[in-house]
């Protein structure tokens, strides 16, 4: 269900998704982002639930911002950062087993190795790497999203890549 509202910027009608519609459409993408950030299915759910629970009471307002996806994505990243800050990394017993990953061009072992190595990166570097290479964001966008300078983002990405290369036995560029 969608609602047509007057745009605050110029009176142009916008299509505003209701909360359920937006979550149905974009929830899976947010969960995938959270999963790449946390490396853990339960934590990914926790992070996204947390962000959505914070967004829901303010949905009337959030749904009118220029880019709802970007706004909620920032909330997810914030929730991840905050979650990390508060709880560090913790295990939670689970009966679920992660489903097998679909086959792509890379050899299975290397994809797994890169994925696991990403999970071991320091939180700031991993966030930068994920936003850059999973979300395909520009450095400036990552800087705006994470609240650090663009130069710091570049440095985090570069250092993160160096760590990954080292772990995978690659030549450093």
Partner 1 sequence: MSDFERRVEEALASGAEGAPDASGLADGARRRVRRRRRTTVAVAAAAVVAAVAVPVGVIALGNGGGSDDVDRAEDPPVADTRIETWHDIQVEVPASWGYGPRTTWCLGREAETPVVERPGGVVAAIACDPSYSFGVSWVDGSTEMVDPVYPSGEVWQYEAGEIKEYVPGSWLGYWYEGDDMVQVNAADKETVQAILDSVQRVDGVDANGCPVTRQEGFTTDSERMSVCRYDGGGQLEQSELLSAEDTEAAIAALRAAPPGDPEMLASCAQDQLPRLVVQMVNTDVNSEVIIQAPCPYRPGITSGGESFQELTPDVLYWALSPGWSGSVSEGVTLPEPLRTLPAEHSYDSGEPFCQDRSASGASGATYEAMIPSEDQLPLVCRYELDWGAESGGSYVLDSERKIADEELQDIRAGLEAAPTVDFPVSQDCAQGRGELFTVYWNDGSAEVYNGECGGQYTLTVTGAEPSYKATSAELLDTLGSPYGLLR
Mark residues 19-38: x for contact with partner 1 by CB under 8 A, - for none.
xx--xx--xx-xxxxxxx--
Tokens of 5: 């509202």
Structural contact between residues 127 and 81, judged by C-beta atoms closer than 8 angstroms: yes
Closer by beta carbon to partner 1, 140 or else 170: 170
- How far apart are the C-alpha atoms of 89 and 132, rounded to whole Å? 23
For partner 1, the closer CB: 12 or 96? 96
Length of the chain: 173
Q: Taking CB under 8 A as the rule, does residue 67 contact partner 1?
A: no
Distance in Å, CB of 100 to partner 1, minimum: 8
List 16, 50, 124, 142, residue binding partner 1 (CB under 8 A): 50
Within 72-101, the residues that bind partner 1 by CB under 8 A are 74-75, 78-79, 82, 85-99, 101
Q: Cα dist. 92→14, 33, 43, 96, 116 in Å? A: 42, 20, 9, 11, 18
Kindly identify the residues of this chain, within the stretch 140-159, that bind partner 1 according to CB under 8 A.
none
Q: If binding is defined by CB under 8 A, does position 127 make contact with partner 1?
A: no
Quick one: which of 119, 141, 144, 155 contacts partner 1 (CB under 8 A)? 119
Minimal distance, residue 13 CB to partner 1, in Å:
18
Looking at beta carbons only, is 54 or 150 nearer to partner 1? 54
The conformation of residue 171, written as its DSSP 8-state character, comes to P
Q: What 3 state SS string does 124-139 have?
A: HHHHHHHHHHHCCCCH
The whole-angstrom separation of Cα 67 and Cα 25 is 14
């Amino acid at each position: 269900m969608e609602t047509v509202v007057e745009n605050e910027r110029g009176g142009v009608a916008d299509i505003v998704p209701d909360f359920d519609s937006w979550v149905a459409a974009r929830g899976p993408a947010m969960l995938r982002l959270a999963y790449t950030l946390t490396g853990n299915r339960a934590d990914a759910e926790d992070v996204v639930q947390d962000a959505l629970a914070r967004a829901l009471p303010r949905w009337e307002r959030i749904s009118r911002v220029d880019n709802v996806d970007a706004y909620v994505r920032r909330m997810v990243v914030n929730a991840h950062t905050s979650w990390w800050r508060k709880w560090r990394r913790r295990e939670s017993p689970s009966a679920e087993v992660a489903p097998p990953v679909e086959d792509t061009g890379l050899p299975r072992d290397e994809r797994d190795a890169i994925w696991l190595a990403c999970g071991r990166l320091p939180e700031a570097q991993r966030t930068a790497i994920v936003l850059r290479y999973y979300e395909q964001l520009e450095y400036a966008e990552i800087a705006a999203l994470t609240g650090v300078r663009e130069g710091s983002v570049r440095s985090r990405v570069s250092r993160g890549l160096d760590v990954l290369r080292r772990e995978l036995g690659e030549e450093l560029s």
